[in-house]
Chain A
Amino acid sequence: MGTDPSVKVSASDRPGKRRGERKRIISISVMVTFVLGIVFAGVFNVALDWTNQEEFCLFCHEMKDNVYREYQTTIHYTNRTGVRAVCADCHVPREFVPKLIRKVKAAKEVWHKILGTIDTPEKFAEYRPVIAQNEWKRMKDNNSQECRNCHDPKFFDFSQQGYRSVNQHQVGLLAKGQACIDCHKGVAHRLPRLDQGVNLADPTGISLEIFRPPVPAKETPLTGETTTESAK
């Protein structure tokens, strides 16, 4: 115990020259780390953006002959003005952390592309209800943020909407806090089999409670900024 203070004293009693050197090394290493950090962040972001391209998606995901074909007939692929929403605009969050989480989860989809889990129309039809409901749930849980990146209810011109739309948007979306996906399913891709009561009840189809979740009875406290302001 008695030796410790003497060690401390000797350590703090270094010559000033060595101290200055140390300081310089620290400052240089901090600067280098900083610059490397910027470079790495830049490269990482560019790489992530690169993986968000339509062509990149087509390469590793099982989609070219099924969901991509379906999407090509919809308004998000082709329209009067040529403004498009590509795969990543709807299926990859823009925020950094959710984006990383989604990208990591996408590894599973690539794995199943390699395995060929859904590589025939029949296999795809079998898995479609599961896959569709996964994405519906994701879009419900984040309050359809990817839709809202372009479609902001704050800027809805209700005079341009049909009377049904006005009602649904003012009551369901704004007052009761429903998510876009609660109603707008099957917008860019075909729907899985639904149990719509055609012929007899169809247990293989998705029930209407899942397809059209009931509107909350009470007015939920308004969460997002957008909803509070537009509700007025």
Chain B
Amino acid sequence: MKKRFFAIVPATVLATGLMLLTGVSQASDDGGLATLRGAPVSASEKSPTGDGLKKAIETEPVERNYLDQPPVISHAIDDYRITKDANKCLDCHSVENYKKEKATRVSKTHFEAYDGKTLANVSSRRQFCTQCHIPQTDAKPLVPNTFQHAK
């Protein structure tokens, strides 16, 4: 009986020690990565400011920052769904509808197909507009940088 007891005690101590060790090492294991956000990589995200998501600015389109920048969207696009079957954006921006809806016409550069040939209408490689175009917001840069507009 006594023998067994003396065997259990060190085993428990060892197990607890191991658990503590692994727990601590998990919390501080950044894999040697440095971060710019002032907190370890493994630390949880800062809690949101409570402002909710940034709202799109629905005024005039803002200037482009550099040549060939995909222009940003000057309106909110919440719940505007784009699937492989249907594209909400083309409801207004398509070649057929842009005049009636007083919307920007989809660029002719978007008519080029995979093989380099120009189609009579939008190519399916440009189906997913939000891969390049995003709504304009007043979001501040997350990381300070020295970028300047093209002049």
Contact = CB atoms under 8 A, between A and B. Distances in A.
A67 interface: no
The number of chain B residues touching the other chain, given as a range, is 20 to 34
Given A186-B81, A190-B81, A197 B86 contact: no
Interface residues of chain A: helix, strand, loop or mixed (majority) = loop
Q: Which of B85, B88, B91 has the most CB of A within 10 A?
A: B85
Given A197-B96, A198-B121, A200-B119, A190 B86 contact: yes
Given A74-B79, A208-B96, A197 B122 contact: yes
B132 to A, nearest CB: 16
Interface residues of chain B: helix, strand, loop or mixed (majority) = loop
Contacts of B95: 197
A198 B122 contact: yes
B117 to A, nearest CB: 11
A199 interface: yes
Contacts of A186: 81, 86, 88
A199 B86 contact: no
Interface in A156-195: 162, 164, 186, 190-194
Nearest to A212: B91
B30 interface: no
A199 B113 contact: yes
B24 to A, nearest CB: 39
B88 to A, nearest CB: 8
Interface of A: 74-75, 162, 164, 186, 190-194, 196-200, 205, 208, 212
